[in-house]
Amino acid sequence: MRRTASVPQHFQNHPHRRTRLWTVALCTALAGGVAACSPEPRTPVTVDPPPDRSVVEEVVEPSGLTRHLEALQAAADANGGNRAAATGGYEASAAYIEEQLRAAGYEPRRQEFSYDGHDNPVDTFNILADTDTGSGSGSVLVLGAHLDSVQEGPGLNDNGSGVAAVLEVALRLAEEGAVPRERIRFAFWGGEEDGLNGSAHYVEELSRAESAAHTAYLNLDVVGSPNAVTFVYDGDGSDSEEAGPEGSAAVEQVFLDILRAEGVKALPFGFIGDSDYDAFVQGGIPAGGLFTGDAGTKSEAEARSFGGQAGLQYDECFHLACDTVENVDMAVLEQMTETLMSATVSLGGIEAGLTKGSATGQGAG
């Protein structure tokens, strides 16, 4: 995650507001103006009831989350202590993700791209894998987490935690033989720490029709913080300066309702252009997701609500060498993964539901 501060008081810094105004100005200047920039009719966000939490708790396997984190740690340990883009650590991390997905019946593919690094061009890739879809509607729900770390450390909370959550949801849905109404795409982004490059490339490559078929994007970036607060991205803009694209409010409400049923009153966090949701927001695709805090400081009120210690960072190892497996709060990560699973079933229209042990097929393609 590319953040220097991570508390809701910083909502006033919204670089994407300026970008949107620039886009509008460009559209009006183009020959044909409105016709050139008018959007395709967007597939609406559809919300089904989430599954019973007890079923989700049986489906999500904490041992799986631990296994994923240990594999990412090993990738860093064997490659100079990090998993930065275009390094051996990144390649080893990607190989593990691909191996896990293939074993579950998916067909992962690499989406290659390049960007200007600090000194030289960087050649790297995203990993994408899709479920089959029962309805054949062509709509897509994307779950994403960035796979790269900073050069300074192995990045197990930022963002091995998000990677583990998205991967575990993918594996468990395949094991359950889940049949989604929407095609569910699992995305592991490259080049995030150098400027949100992988997700930006993905959105830039979408045609207007493909973009319109994306019902929502769910972002998982830093979801196992040791001094955690549960944040949900503020889709309706009620607690920050700007709402997300139409449909983002519904995505936010899904997460809030799921957490509220567990007795968790999550706090809103604005779209401040600091993670992979930004390209989707800029592209008019509804977005949302979970975040448990990084460089910001926990307030007294947050400590009363969520426990932990006021006056300390949510994650004092953010972007440092100490962001190892031991830095990840596994109880927090498990709760965020279960919440993601519930939201995916609700927003993806999982027809078969979740019934542990009753799978009849992989559900992936």
Indicate which residues carry an active-site annotation: 192
Judge whether 75 and 325 are in contact, CB under 8 Å: no
Give CA–CA dist 5/294, Å, rounded. 8
- In terms of Cα–Cα distance, which of 276, 336, 270, 324 is closest to 6? 270
Tokens matching residue 218: 């769910």
The values of phi and psi at residue 348, to 5°, are: -90, -5
Does residue 56 contact residue 354 with C-beta atoms inside 8 Å?
yes
Distance CA 44, CA 51 (A): 21
